């Protein structure tokens, strides 16, 4: 458990010294091994974090001295000499500057030079302190896949000479977007598991939320960080209401709202306020959070402010037009202005190539058709949707809905 608490700070502090996170992680692990050997006999030091950092920095210093000797042989003395001297500071208390180091670590692990999968794995490993086994279990892939992904990611960072730093200026905006994307990918894999037998994997949502909350403390001036945190908190507030007694999915409007987590809603609305007061009301995450907040504020499904949701989707669509957003907007329009208006919008998306294999398109279309009394077409759409999803409980829900109409075809 020491590792879980200390690893990110440790690796971050060491990476500032040695320049790359692969070496930093090895040094941190060596220090942990030393701790596990010494602490049982000598007692846990008063400040375990400082002890680990001190031990690891001594090793880093040895390492740099060895590198320096090697460099000297290669007649490249000057630069790394200075580097070693300015980098090592064993006296500074570890609490200083740790924030910036941690932020650098997050930015590095989420560097756009890496594939999305690599960013996700590296972030969970290095920033979240998860073991390779835990990550593999969470994503239902073999351990070897994750460990290779992490090894390759570290190598890519070294080869691309990615600097260990908090980027500034225009680069910061793009890099921050990558960080937010990674955290939200982790959250979504937990929130709507794309494969396997579980509908949700709360542990991944919790990891993502924790990363988001940490980031919000490290970069409190960034409105979109609060926007993302707000979105995740509000979505996570529904986790236990989204799954029925036998593991089946429960759609938003059918959920028992008394099971929504009021604490997370309150935290989410608070984070949304912060995003908006920092001038970030129109950021993509803040907008999605504002939509989620419309549902969170409605005591019953019937009280949902669909007009506001349509307006918010309009804003999202202007900012980042995408067929998936259009589909969501169509649902809101269907609720605000009737199923026929919604269906018009969905029909325009049927030819969209990127939605060809997206199961929610036929699911939404089927729902609108059903409301319009066109049951035969609705059934065909639900059957298609069921054939397109790899998530077992979701497929069963779709199949069940078809079966229910088969039993009483006129009920609607």
If one asks whether residue 4 binds another protein (CB under 8 A), the answer comes out as yes
Q: Which of 240, 297, 384, 395 binds another protein (CB under 8 A)?
A: 240
Please identify, among the stretches 80-88, 236-244, 295-303, 399-407, the one whose residues bind another protein according to the rule CB under 8 A.
Answer: 236-244
Contacts with another protein, 25-64, as mask; x by CB under 8 A: -----------------------x----------------
Q: Distance (Å, rounded) from C-alpha 332 to C-alpha 340?
A: 12
If one asks whether residue 182 binds another protein (CB under 8 A), the answer comes out as no
Please identify, among the stretches 73-81, 139-147, 208-216, 250-258, the one whose residues bind another protein according to the rule CB under 8 A.
Answer: 208-216
Please identify, among the stretches 158-166, 169-177, 204-212, 368-376, the one whose residues bind another protein according to the rule CB under 8 A.
Answer: 204-212
If one asks whether residue 124 binds another protein (CB under 8 A), the answer comes out as no
Q: Distance (Å, rounded) from C-alpha 191 to C-alpha 193?
A: 6
If one asks whether residue 267 binds another protein (CB under 8 A), the answer comes out as yes
Please answer whether residues 135 and 143 qualify as being in contact, where contact means their C-beta atoms are separated by less than 8 angstroms: no
Question: What minimum distance in Å lies between the beta carbon of 80 and another protein?
Answer: 33
Please identify, among the stretches 78-86, 172-180, 213-221, 297-305, the one whose residues bind another protein according to the rule CB under 8 A.
Answer: 213-221
Please answer whether residues 294 and 309 qualify as being in contact, where contact means their C-beta atoms are separated by less than 8 angstroms: yes
| The token pair that represents 23 in the structure block | 């070496």
Please identify, among the stretches 104-112, 240-248, 355-363, 387-395, the one whose residues bind another protein according to the rule CB under 8 A.
Answer: 240-248
If one asks whether residue 245 binds another protein (CB under 8 A), the answer comes out as yes
If one asks whether residue 257 binds another protein (CB under 8 A), the answer comes out as no
**Which residue's CB is nearer to another protein, number 218 or number 327?**
218
Paired residues of 391 in beta bridges: 196
Q: Which of 56, 232, 243, 293 binds another protein (CB under 8 A)?
A: 243
If one asks whether residue 206 binds another protein (CB under 8 A), the answer comes out as yes
**Which residue's CB is nearer to another protein, number 251 or number 403?**
251
Contacts with 296 (C-beta within 8 Å, 6 or more apart), sequence order: 234, 237, 260, 265, 268, 269
User: Segment 338-377, which members bind another protein (CB under 8 A)?
Assistant: none
Where on the phi/psi map is residue 19: left (φ > 0), alpha (ψ -120 to 50), or beta?
Answer: left
Q: Which of 58, 67, 68, 210 binds another protein (CB under 8 A)?
A: 210
**Which residue's CB is nearer to another protein, number 207 or number 326?**
207
Go through the chain and tell me how many residues it has.
412
Question: What minimum distance in Å lies between the beta carbon of 331 and another protein?
Answer: 27
Q: Which of 67, 137, 213, 384 binds another protein (CB under 8 A)?
A: 213
Q: Which residues bind another protein (CB under 8 A)?
A: 1-2, 4-5, 48, 99, 202-203, 206, 209-214, 217-218, 239-240, 243, 245, 247, 263, 267
């Amino acid at each position: 458990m020491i590792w879980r608490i200390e690893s990110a700070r440790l690796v971050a502090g060491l990476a500032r010294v040695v320049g790359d996170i692969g070496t930093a992680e090895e040094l941190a692990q060596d220090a942990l091994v030393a701790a596990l050997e010494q602490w049982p006999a000598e007692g846990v030091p008063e400040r375990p974090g400082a002890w680990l950092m001190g031990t690891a920095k001594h090793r880093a210093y040895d390492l740099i001295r060895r590198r320096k000797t090697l460099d000297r042989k290669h007649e490249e003395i000057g630069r790394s000499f200075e580097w070693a001297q300015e980098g090592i500071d064993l006296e500074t208390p570890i609490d200083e500057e740790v924030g910036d180091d941690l932020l650098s670590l997050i930015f590095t692990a989420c560097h756009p030079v890496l594939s999305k999968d690599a960013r996700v794995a590296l972030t969970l490993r290095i920033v979240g302190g998860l073991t390779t086994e835990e990550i593999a279990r969470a994503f239902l892939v073999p351990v070897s896949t994750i460990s290779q992904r992490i090894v390759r990611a570290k190598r890519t960072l070294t080869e691309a000479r990615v600097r260990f730093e908090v980027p500034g200026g225009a680069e910061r905006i793009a890099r921050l977007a990558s960080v937010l994307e990674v955290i939200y990918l982790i959250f979504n894999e937990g929130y709507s598991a794309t494969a396997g037998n579980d509908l949700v994997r709360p542990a991944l949502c919790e990891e993502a939320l924790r990363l988001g909350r940490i980031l919000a403390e490290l970069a409190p001036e960034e409105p979109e960080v609060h926007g993302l945190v707000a979105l995740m908190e509000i979505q996570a507030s529904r986790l236990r209401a989204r799954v029925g007694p036998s593991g089946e999915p429960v759609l938003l409007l059918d959920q028992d709202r008394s099971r929504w987590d009021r604490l997370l809603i309150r935290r989410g609305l608070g984070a949304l306020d912060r995003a908006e007061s920092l001038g970030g009301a129109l950021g993509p995450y803040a907008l999605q959070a504002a939509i989620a907040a419309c549902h969170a504020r409605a005591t019953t499904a019937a009280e949902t402010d669909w007009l506001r949701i349509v307006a918010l989707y309009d804003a999202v669509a202007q900012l980042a037009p995408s067929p998936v957003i259009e589909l969501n907007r169509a649902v809101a329009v269907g609720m605000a202005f009737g199923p026929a208006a919604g269906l018009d919008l969905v029909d325009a998306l049927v030819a969209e190539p990127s939605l060809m294999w997206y199961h929610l398109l036929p699911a939404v279309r089927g729902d609108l058709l059903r409301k319009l009394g066109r049951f035969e077409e609705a059934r065909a759409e639900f059957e298609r949707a069921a054939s397109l999803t790899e998530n077992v409980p979701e497929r069963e829900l779709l199949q069940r809905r078809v079966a229910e109409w088969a039993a009483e075809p006129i009920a609607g």
